[in-house]
Amino acid sequence: MMNKWKYPAILLTGIGIANIGDWIYLIALNLIVLNETQSPMAVVLLYLLKPAAGMVVNAWSGSLIDRVNKRNLMIILDFSRAVSIIVVVLMPMSIAMYAVVFFINMMSAVFHPASRTYMIQLIPKASRQRFNALKGLIGSGAFIMGPAVAGLLFQLGTPHLSLFVTAAALCGSGLITLLLPNLEREALADADIGRFSLSAVREDWKLVSTYTKRHASIMLIYFLFSCLLVMTAAVDSLEAAFSKQVLHLSDSTYGYMVSIAGAGFILGSIVNTAFAHRLSYMKLMGGGGVAVAAGYLLYASSDTMVWAATGFAFLSFALAFASTGFETFFQEKIPVKMMGRIASIYGLAEGALVLIMTISIGIGAEFVSIRWAVCAGAIIMLITSILLLLSIRRESSPATYEIHRTGIE
């Protein structure tokens, strides 16, 4: 058993260190920009850089990921992001600094689908759902530890010190990845990267389009869950404004409510990890998705901190199950050789939808009301989750299974 989980444990350690570093980086960078510019819009621009970078990268990164050595690519990206963060620390506040941050986001947009594909190659099929549950638990732990470590570092020094710690965390993650097995024996320089070209990207788009048509029911589930994530991101953009201006919470009370959400996610991750071997990933994804939407609706319709916190805790608890179900669904249903291309191309659509829905909800909050905008987002989320659940039930029905098994579809 110990030997079986040796490499997964090493991978989870690297993921945990990187996740904590990501939270420190996010908080420190926001404070640096706000302190130097005194402009909330300058901070908002940082949040727009991430989906924008994803849209630039996702059009072609899948073609690259599926043609190179994933482990080596992950190592290169970890060290490259570390160096880039140090460059940000040394630069004055300027457009050039935003350009470097944009470049860091581009590298992160390549790293995540690459690591996702490597995980599938490393983790045995029977252990994937438990691994995903543990990964979610580590992510929720980082959600608590990252801001706490950032706060401690701010007391010891400036936010710039925190960025150096983030760079060190990424270097540590890269070194840990070196301990993992090289599952694709060819070196990065000798990989199939020679065939990575504009024509190859066009062919890959056609390949993903053909795969989507042949496996429409599976890709519909994938797309609907992605839409659910899009709506959570859009509604979350108004979280602080809703809490402060609608619920009239103080800064400390708002921070307390966010901590309750983190605790809900941790509790959900613990329960999910304990019972991962007994739960169907399809039911986790479908039922968890509806529960997440219900939690957001409770939060959106609340008038007091107690009900808002209850909604927050409930949706966070459910999100732990839904996320694990989706990760396992992706690993089980998508061919390994196409994971990078599918994740990147669908990620392009997801990034565009995040921008559109975030801007739309922001406009609704500005010209109608924050309450109306958040409630509308939660209702759209609930409708999406119900469609997701119905699609999952259809896909899981014996008749559909038989169609897939016999190759008729």
- CA distance to 40, 95, 194, 294, 353, per residue, from 364 (Å): 19, 30, 48, 21, 16
pLDDT in tens, 209-241: 899 999 999 999 999 999 998 898 888 877 777
pLDDT tens digits, one per residue of 288-336: 999 999 999 999 998 888 888 899 889 988 988 898 889 889 888 888 7
Residue 187: what pLDDT? 43
Where is average pLDDT lowest: 82-96, 165-179, 261-275?
261-275
Residue 94 tokens, joined: 């300027």
Amino acid at 306: V
Asked if pLDDT for residue 378 goes beyond 80, the answer is yes
**pLDDT reported for residue 290:** 94
Mean pLDDT of the chain: 82
Query: 102: closest CA among 52, 58, 61?
Result: 52
pLDDT recorded at residue 44: 66
Q: Average pLDDT for residues 278-285, to the nearest whole number?
A: 85
Instruction: At 270, list the tokens.
Output: 């613990």
pLDDT for 174 equals 92
pLDDT at 397: 66
Average pLDDT over residues 172-195: 70
Q: How far is CA 84 from the centre of its chain?
A: 21
Give the pLDDT confidence score for residue 171 in this predicted structure. Answer: 93
pLDDT of 251 higher than 70: no
- Over residues 38-92, the pLDDT tens digits come to 766 676 677 778 878 888 888 788 778 877 888 899 999 999 999 999 998 888 8
- Residue 390: pLDDT band with limits 50, 70, 90: very high
Residue owning tokens 């992160």: 108
CA 267, chain centre distance (Å) = 19
Show the tokens assigned to 155: 């007391």
Quick one: CA dihedral 330, 143, 317, 243, positive or negative? negative
- The number of residues making up the chain comes to 409
**Could you tell me the pLDDT band of residue 191, with boundaries at 50, 70 and 90?**
very low
Which residue, among 60, 58, 19, has the nearest Cα to 347 in the 3D structure?
58
pLDDT on residue 396: 75
Sequence-distant (6+) residues with CB within 8 A of 398 are none
Q: Does residue 382 carry a pLDDT above 80?
A: yes
Residue 398's pLDDT is what? 58
Phi/psi of residue 6, nearest 5 degrees: -60, -60
Three-state DSSP class for residue 74 = helix
> What value does the mean pLDDT take over residues 96-108?
90
Q: Answer whether residue 139 shows pLDDT above 90.
A: no
Only one residue has tokens 């991750």, namely: 269
Q: What is the structure's pLDDT at 276?
A: 67
What is the mean pLDDT of the segment spanning 234-250? 79
Does residue 399 surpass a pLDDT of 60? Answer: no
